[in-house]
Every structure is written in C-alpha cells, then in structure tokens.
Amino acid sequence: MRGRLLSRTLALMSTQPNILDADRLTTYTPNNAVGPFDVGFPIFDSTGADLSVTLDGIEQTGNWSLTTAPFSGYWGAPNTYTGTITFTAPVTGMLVIEGNRSPRRISQYAEGRGLPARDQNTELNILTAGVREIWQRLKRTLTAPASDAPIDMTLPGKAARANRVLEFDAQGRPITTRGFADVEALTNEAKGARDAAQSYAGETLGYRNQAEGHKNAAQAAELSAAAYATAVGAQIFDFSLDSDLALNIYDWSA
C-alpha cells in the first residue's frame, strides 16, 4: 500500500515538458520512405488534429497516421504526448511536420478539489505552444517594417481582387487594378521592344562591320599605291589639301 502511494505521489510530482524557444516544426527529406517520422515536439491531442503535414509545400491529408504515447506520469485530459507519423505509401521530398493547434478548451477544472501544478502547467503549455505557432507563422508572412508610417494595409475585397495581380500605390497601399490580361499585354509589349532593340543592334553591328571593311580596303589600297610608287620611283602627292578655298584647285603636297 505504501509503495502504491509513493508511486502515485511521484507521478503527481512529475514535471511537464517545457515549451522550448524553438519553432514547433520538424523537417525531413525522405527518399521513398513511409516513416515513422518523429513529431519532435510535445503535442496535446492524440488524433493528429493539431498537426500540419506538408510534402514539398503541399498539404498531406488522409495518407498518414499518428501514433502517440503520453508523457510518463500523466493521465486524463488534457494530456501531453510524444508522437510519430507514418505514411500509407512511400514518400520522397521535403517533409515538414508543424504544430497547428486550433484554439479550444476541452476540459474544465472540477469544483471542490485542489488544483495540481500538473494541470496548471499543462494548460500554460497549451497556451504557450499556440502562441509560438502563431509567432512562427507570423515570421513567414509579408509585413511592413516598423519604420513605415501607419497606413491601411487591408486587401481589396474578394470580388475586386479576383483574377487580379497585387500591386502597391504611391503610398504603399495594396491595390489590384491590373488583371492577368493587362500583365500579359505589358509583357508582350516589353518583348516587342526587346526584339526591336536586338534587331537595331544587329543592323548597327552590320553597318559597323561594313565600315570596318571599307577602312581596311582603303588602307590596303594606300599601301599598294605606296609600294607601286616606290617601285617606279614616283612621288606621291596628297590632293586632299585645300589651303585656299577661294581657288578652285587643291594643293599639291608631296
């Protein structure tokens, strides 16, 4: 009898696991494997309702099961569990198991009895875990910096933003004035301008190559003339000089 009382006393004194300063998610890169994959953090529901499981960013539902075990020394509800998930068929990719508990209260403290630290710690852990999950998701959302002046960042209504692209006006507020057709038209216009620029660049390069060819031909002709003049002992004159524009003649310059 005394041994049973001691065991029960030790169970009541058991310490709840801490909710660590770490995101409540675990990642794996399975290669044609079914698991089991350890959840990696304490959970408070044995059905899997408090978990989000994604593979390469796609939510996985109906193709995995959760196996749990209560933390030693606890009973009743709410409880704290460790767990693993196992898929019904092999999977490959980036697997993410993340805490995703919807806010709810599934138990009440009974009247007329003491309030054990175990019960209080469980409830505080559930609250802390939920806040942590909200916080870790908030870090992955689009947010304006704290230095921004306060503005209305509310998105336009569903009808106004359906089949539209998200833009920001001069004040940085979200707007949805352009549709996909507008974006496609602008894209085609930009492609047309790019193609025209490439065509002009090609033509310019062709003209440059032609000019380079003419220059090389002129230089070759000049060298040939100089060589011929040297061979026959002639003197080369430059008829391009015109020191007196009033006279209809060119200077002869050797």
**Residue 57 per-residue DSSP state:** T
Work out the average pLDDT over 88-106: 94
Under 8 Å CB-to-CB from 126, ≥6 apart: which residues? 44, 78, 101
Work out the average pLDDT over 202-210: 78
Structure tokens at 161: 């933003």
SS3 category, 215: helix
- Which residue reads 């919807």 in tokens? 102
Domain boundaries, the chain: 2-102+116-138, 152-254
Query: Residue 206 above 50 pLDDT?
Result: yes
Query: Residue 131 above 50 pLDDT?
Result: yes
pLDDT-derived band of residue 8, with 50, 70 and 90 as boundaries? very low
- Which residue reads 């306060």 in tokens? 150
Work out the average pLDDT over 99-125: 86
* Per-residue confidence (pLDDT) for residue 7, from 0 to 100: 41
What is the tens place of the pLDDT at every residue in 212-231? 877 787 777 777 777 767 77
Whole-model pTM: value is 0.62
Q: Are 125 and 17 in contact (CB under 8 A)?
A: yes
Looking at 5-19, 22-36, 191-205, which range is the least confident one? 5-19
Under 8 Å CB-to-CB from 80, ≥6 apart: which residues? 16, 17, 42, 43, 44, 70, 71, 74, 122, 125
